[in-house]
Amino acid sequence: MSNSYLTCSFLSSIFVLSLIFIFIKRKKTRYNLPPGKMGWPFIGETIGYLKPYTATTMGEFMENHIARYGTIYKSNLFGGPAIVSADAELNRFILQNDGKLFECSYPKSIGGILGKWSMLVLVGDMHREMRNISLNFMSYARLKTHFLKDMEKHTLFVLSSWKENCTFSAQDEAKKFTFNLMAKQIMSLDPGNLETEQLKKEYVCFMKGVVSAPLNLPGTAYRKALKSRNNILKFIEGKMEERVKRNQEGKKGMEENDLLNWVLKHSNLSTEQILDLILSLLFAGHETSSVAIALAIYFLPSCPQAIQQLREEHREIARSKKKAGEVELTWDDYKRMEFTHCVVNETLRLGNVVRFLHRKAIKDVHYKGYDIPCGWKVLPVISAVHLDPSNFDQPQHFNPWRWQVSSKSGNCASMSNNNFMPFGGGPRLCAGLELAKLEMAVFIHHIILKYNWDMVDVDQPIVYPFVDFPKGLPIRVQSEEEIEDEESSDEEREREDENDFGLRVCLV
Ligand code: HEM
């Protein structure tokens, strides 16, 4: 081979490689990406993004990024390039186009611990099938009958164990309530039973792993959680086998109406799929609403007017029930809890139990002049929208009255503001939305009638990114009857203040 031939082929290879390089570069820069920076290789800006912060704020990372780049910016998060959205319209667009332009895309570690059949990680037909089962389980008809009755029973079970002037963790108590309720509705487990308590212990360990760094190494919380996951699954499988045997023998029992029985009788799911469904519903149904209840317990004492208005509403309901000779709460009573609904909304807006969602673009998307490339992560940050002053006036204030329907127009300023999305939106809107709101209202009904409470130690909700009270929200209660006497001696003084009371909002 001559030298000139070698030189010629060398030069032409360089030429071809340069062309490929220019083509890739042009393809890469073809996009009009939002501003932002990509941070370190691989980890990008993930550490800053996940740095804990107070739940009633957007957090330093988000505030700084929005101030610098605006409400839509690019970054590198959770191991890949990402578009972060604190823009209400884009968030709605992302959620409404789930399955068309975007797809659910939670980090692999979530699938590892919740299971590959967990609804959070499923997409397509399988997701739809699991979702339908969940919606059926939490239908209005079941909420009005099975859930409401049980909810009240479990609320009273927890509240009646509270001792006056003793300090205890309100967060643990809220978890006890939501766990007991879900364990009963899903598998007919009764609170206090040895097996229920054992399952609860495994669940606590499991949860620690869900919120920890996904390091599968000896001694880590994640490794322990994987072990607890196996123990929980074995437990559920044992229950399944008992049921199958009993159903074959034609025996009917207390379990007729629970979820486990329903999926065994009416679905074609495999054992593995049923196990992951039960595990993830127990997780979704107990962690989120217990945090929401703890947040209400945290916000309310700093807003005495809200406590007073709640008390009037619930005393009125209790009075009319007594008159009618009724004992248990009914769906009509729930519908009468108008101010309670405002408190529930405001708690969810300011506390933001779920901060942001994980999606990825499955097509190139063009939005508000920016490109979102196919394959990029997309993170709609719902909490940033709830805490944005252009969406909610004085967003840091706990102001349940912002949700009140105006008697003149019949409209509610905040309600017509469809930027409120604590339960997500689109085809993956929270399946337990109505259940969660009902749980909060029933719990508030009884706690407000039965007790007055105050914080024993300074504690506040922190985003880890799961919202949690580091000290467990320590509170002390006094029974409401006693408080009533103290209140009446203060009544005169309060009446004097009444004129400048107005619609004063409460600072938290
Ligand atoms: C205050 C309490 C709650 C909040 C703030 C909340 C919030 C959310 C959010 C934001 C999503 C959407 C996730 C996404 O799009 O990626 C979701 C999904 C879901 N939630 Fe809730 N949730 C709450 C209570 C509950 C309860 C009590 C249950 C009952 C089991 C439940 C079951 C579910 C299920 C099954 C999904 C998946 C829906 C789907 O993928 O189709 N949630 N939740």
Atom of ligand 1 nearest to the CA of 122: 40
SS3 sequence, 190-239?
CCCCHHHHHHHHHHHHHHHHHCCCCCCCCCCHHHHHHHHHHHHHHHHHHH
Residue bearing the bigger pLDDT, 482 or 326: 326
Span of 28-32, 68-72, 256-260, 330-334 with lowest mean pLDDT: 28-32
Question: Quick one: which of 81, 95, 2, 18 has its CA closest to 46?
Answer: 81
Q: Whose CA is nearest to atom 25 of ligand 1?
A: 432
Q: How many angstroms does the Cα of residue 289 sit away from the middle of ligand 1?
A: 9
pLDDT at residue number 11 = 64
Kindly report the backbone phi and psi dihedral angles of residue 477, in degrees, each rounded to the nearest multiple of 5, phi listed first: -120, 155
Question: Quick one: which of 383, 388, 392 has its CA closest to 414?
Answer: 392
Q: Is the pLDDT of residue 64 over 50?
A: yes
Positive/negative CA dihedral, 367, 370, 373, 377? negative
Query: With b meaning 16 or more CB within 10 Å and e meaning fewer, what string describes 398-433?
Result: bbbbbbbeeeeeeeeebeeeebbbbbbbbebebbbe
Query: Two tokens at 372?
Result: 């979102």
Q: How far is CA 16 from the centre of its chain?
A: 53
Confidence of residue 486 (pLDDT cuts 50, 70, 90): very low
pLDDT at residue number 265 = 86
376: left (phi over 0), alpha (psi -120 to 50) or beta: beta
Ligand 1 touching residue 447 (CB < 6 A) = no
Contacts of 224 (CB under 8 A, 6+ apart): 205, 208, 209
Q: How far is CA 213 from the centre of its chain?
A: 19
Amino acid found at 219: G
Q: How many angstroms does the Cα of residue 136 sit away from the middle of ligand 1?
A: 15
Q: Is the pLDDT of residue 49 over 50?
A: yes
What is the 3-state composition of the chain as percent helix, strand, coil, each rounded to the nearest 5? 55, 10, 30
Query: With b meaning 16 or more CB within 10 Å and e meaning fewer, what string describes 237-261?
Result: eebbeebeeeeeeeeeeebeebbbb
Q: Is 265 exposed, middle or buried (0-12, 13-18, 19+ CB in 10 A)?
A: exposed
**Domains defined for the chain, CATH in brackets:** 21-114+354-386 (3.30.43.20)
- Tens of pLDDT, residue by residue over 13-32, are 666 655 555 555 555 558 99
Atom of ligand 1 nearest to the CA of 95: 15
Give the span between the Cα atoms of 302 and 507, in whole angstroms: 7
Confidence of residue 105 (pLDDT cuts 50, 70, 90): very high
Give the span between the Cα atoms of 380 and 372, in whole angstroms: 13
Ligand 1 pocket test, pick from 185, 430, 442, 463 with the greatest ligand atom count within 8 Å of Cβ, gives: 430
Q: Whose CA is nearest to atom 40 of ligand 1?
A: 428
Ligand 1 touching residue 174 (CB < 6 A) = no
Ligand 1 touching residue 294 (CB < 6 A) = no
pLDDT at residue number 166 = 93
Q: Is the pLDDT of residue 300 over 70?
A: yes
Ligand 1 touching residue 246 (CB < 6 A) = no
Cβ(99)–Cβ(123) under 8 Å?
A: yes
Q: How far is CA 166 from the centre of its chain?
A: 30
Q: How many angstroms does the Cα of residue 137 sit away from the middle of ligand 1?
A: 14
Ligand 1 touching residue 352 (CB < 6 A) = no
Mean pLDDT value of segment 336-353: 97
Contacts of 35 (CB under 8 A, 6+ apart): 68, 69, 70, 73, 74
- Tens of pLDDT, residue by residue over 268-293, are 999 999 999 999 898 888 889 999 99
Average pLDDT, the chain: 88
Report DSSP letters for 128-145, one per residue: HHHHHHHHHHT-HHHIII
Q: How many angstroms does the Cα of residue 236 sit away from the middle of ligand 1?
A: 22
Ligand 1 pocket test, pick from 96, 288, 356, 440 with the greatest ligand atom count within 8 Å of Cβ, gives: 288
Asked if the peptide bond before residue 465 counts as cis, ω within 30 degrees of 0, the response is yes
Cβ(239)–Cβ(222) under 8 Å?
A: no
Q: Which pTM was predicted?
A: 0.89
Q: Is the pLDDT of residue 155 over 50?
A: yes
Ligand 1 touching residue 422 (CB < 6 A) = yes
- Tens of pLDDT, residue by residue over 357-406, are 999 999 999 999 999 999 999 999 999 999 999 999 999 999 999 999 76
